[in-house]
């Protein structure tokens, strides 16, 4: 899979582990979130709402995906769902223990449910979603003690960058469609 690249871990081939060891946990989160933002930009080029995700396992990026709803004409082709499928293929198993997903926007109920089903360890997201957020805003599916698995959740990583990506997308789409600036 050429979309997947070694960016972490201790692979001596072209990667400097001491550089990663100097990063604190917040800097590591920001580093992977930047990759999710880069993926979101591909969605935007395709005319899809710019949302991106990467999944990291043992310091290695095993999935990099973006929202492809328009591209694939598939209502379930959210960045997280596409990334989960890639990650499971990379690991050869559906249970994604030991994985962290970085996603630019707070996951919706469908994706939050899928993250629980896939048994990831951790979710890191950028900006909150007041209209569909299911990881702390409207619901808290990933930390619901009634379900059979819970994820550790970190919110707000590079939130401003993630939010402005979306704001600029909707602003330019309204301009193109001649819609009023406050319309959704």
What positions carry a catalytic annotation? 80
Q: How far apart are CA 4 and CA 111, in angstroms?
A: 21
Structure tokens at 27: 């800097």
The answer to the question of residue 40 lying near Zn ion (CB under 5 A) is: no
The answer to whether 69 contacts Zn ion (rule: CB under 5 A) is no
The residue of the chain with the least Cβ separation from Zn ion equals: 111
* The pair of three-digit structure tokens given for residue 3, joined into one six-digit string: 């979309």
Any contact of residue 108 with Zn ion (CB under 5 A)? yes
Minimum Å gap between C-beta 13 and Zn ion is 35
Asked if 111 is part of the footprint of Zn ion (rule: CB under 5 A), the reply reads yes
Of the candidate spans 35-43, 74-82, 94-102, 164-172, the one that interacts with Zn ion by CB under 5 A turns out to be: 74-82
Q: Which residue has the tokens 């979101």?
A: 40
- Decide: is 141 part of the binding site for Zn ion (CB under 5 A): no
| DSSP code for 120 | -
Helix (H, G, I), strand (E, B) or coil at 177: helix
Which is nearest to 52 in space by CA: 113, 61, 43, 177?
A: 43
Residues in touch with Zn ion (CB under 5 A): 78, 108, 110-111
């Amino acid at each position: 899979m050429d979309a997947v690249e070694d960016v972490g871990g201790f692979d001596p081939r072209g990667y400097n582990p001491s550089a990663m060891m100097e990063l604190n946990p917040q800097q590591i989160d920001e580093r992977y979130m930047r990759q999710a933002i880069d993926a979101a930009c591909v969605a935007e080029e395709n005319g899809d709402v710019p949302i991106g995700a990467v999944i990291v396992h043992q310091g290695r990026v095993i999935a990099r995906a973006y929202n492809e709803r328009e591209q694939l004409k598939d209502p379930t082709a959210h960045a997280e769902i596409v990334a989960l499928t890639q990650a499971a293929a990379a690991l050869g198993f559906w249970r994604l223990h030991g994985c962290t997903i970085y996603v630019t926007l707070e996951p919706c109920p469908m994706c939050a449910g899928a993250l629980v089903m896939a048994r990831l360890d951790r979710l890191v997201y950028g900006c909150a979603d007041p209209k569909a957020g299911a990881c702390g805003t409207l619901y808290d599916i990933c930390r619901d003690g009634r379900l059979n698995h819970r994820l550790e959740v970190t919110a707000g990583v590079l939130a401003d960058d993630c939010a402005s990506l979306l704001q600029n997308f909707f602003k330019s789409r309204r301009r193109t469609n001649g819609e009023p600036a406050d319309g959704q």
